[in-house]
Structure 1
Amino acid sequence: MPHTEDALPEHEASAIHEPRLWRDKGWTARVIKNEDGEGWAVEMIRDGSAEPALVGPWTMGRNKVDPKPLDATAHQTLVKTASEVIRRHEQQLHAQLNKQVSIETEAGSVTVKLAITPDEFEPFGTLTAEDAFGEVLASTKVRPDFRLTRDSAERWAASGFDKIR
């Protein structure tokens, strides 16, 4: 049975393989003139994103004037690098929005977790205390700038997990 373009997945149907523009597998690599006027750069943009995930220097071609053309191997390497940049950014953001400390109470070990919800208009935090088995002992809403430290967790536990103002 002949393979028609209609039967191809969307990312394959819209693939572009040009020397300075390579779109495939959900990513676009674009070779651009360096902003400082010297040499070339490549930007990697994930489909659906407005901003590049990665911008880096690009190799000159043999004539030392034009950029080296993009190819499948270069694109795959750039996809791996850009994906790693995004993964690290997501891990950093997660670490900024989620913190936890362990404390000892009369009832045993307690893990206090802070999760920040970065709402554009009304961001807030949720403070949760869990026992050693993961059972929720208490949960309360806190300001998005609440600082979770061992001391603040111990004070909350000592108050009987009262609402924090």
Structure 2
Amino acid sequence: MTKISPHEDTTAVHEDRLWKDKGWTARVIKNQDDDGWAVEMILDGEPEPALVGPWTMGRDKKNPKPLDATAFSTLVKTASEVIRRHEQHLHAMLNKRLSVSTDDGVVEVSLSIVPDEDDPYATLSAHDAAGELLAELRVGPDFRFSQASARSWIESGFRAPGR
């Protein structure tokens, strides 16, 4: 029995203005900003396009150039890169780390934000140079994470800030 991944479409469509294949949909659409055309790339299951960009006019200078396998492959690669960069940026925004030198050695302090719609929070944690967890504390998602706040937390014996 062959398993099908959630991003594998068994009903590929290869039309001039619509390609569905390998978990992606490329659709050539009228460009809202001018008389030209645009192409949108949508990952299966996602509500919004991962990529929208200009599309080439055909030889008649009226209609769009038809999609083909090479163009689709390039669009998939580009849209995948856009998603990857977005995920990296989001990870960097939600996870911060810094090092604090103490008399006992370097302490790595990190803040990981959990952007829950109902109850957002962050976890503040400290690890020694060997990677052993020294302390972990739940704080508000708006915790001001800086070298000074990390040092203050360490110097207080890892007590909750403000106490």
Bin of the TM-score, shorter chain as denominator length: over 0.9
> Which residue of the partner structure matches residue 101 of structure 2?
104
The root-mean-square deviation of aligned C-alpha atoms, in Å, is 1.4
> Which residue of the partner structure matches residue 91 of structure 2?
94
1:148 CA displacement: 1.1
> Which residue of the partner structure matches residue 46 of structure 2?
49
1:164 CA displacement: 2.3
User: Which among 136, 140, 144 is matched to residue 143 of structure 1?
Assistant: 140
User: Which among 151, 154, 158 is matched to residue 154 of structure 1?
Assistant: 151
Q: How many residues align?
A: 159
Provide the secondary structure at the position in 2 that maps to 1:148.
Answer: coil
1:99 CA displacement: 0.2
Q: What pairs with 1:17-36 in structure 2 (closer than 5 Å)? A: 17-36=14-33
> Which residue of the partner structure matches residue 3 of structure 1?
none
Provide the secondary structure at the position in 2 that maps to 1:13.
Answer: coil
The yes-or-no answer on 1:84 pairing with 2:81 is yes
> Which residue of the partner structure matches residue 112 of structure 2?
115
1:92 CA displacement: 0.5
- CA spacing shift, 1:12–1:140, aligned 2, 3 Å: closer
For 1:8 and 1:99, locate their aligned partners in 2 and report how far apart those are by CA, in whole Å: 38
Structure 1, unpaired ranges of 5+: 1-6
- Whether contact under 8 Å (1:140, 1:164) holds in the other structure is no
1:106 CA displacement: 1.7
For 1:8 and 1:37, locate their aligned partners in 2 and report how far apart those are by CA, in whole Å: 44
For 1:109, the aligned partner's letter is V
Runs (4 or more) in structure 1 with deviation over 6 Å come to: none
Provide the secondary structure at the position in 1 that maps to 2:142.
Answer: coil
Q: Deviations over 1:16-62 (max 9, x none)?
A: 00000000001000000001241000000000001000000000000
Q: What pairs with 1:126-137 in structure 2 (closer than 5 Å)? A: 126-137=123-134
Structure 2, unpaired ranges of 5+: none
1:163 CA displacement: 1.6
- Whether contact under 8 Å (1:111, 1:132) holds in the other structure is yes
- CA spacing shift, 1:12–1:51, aligned 2, 3 Å: closer
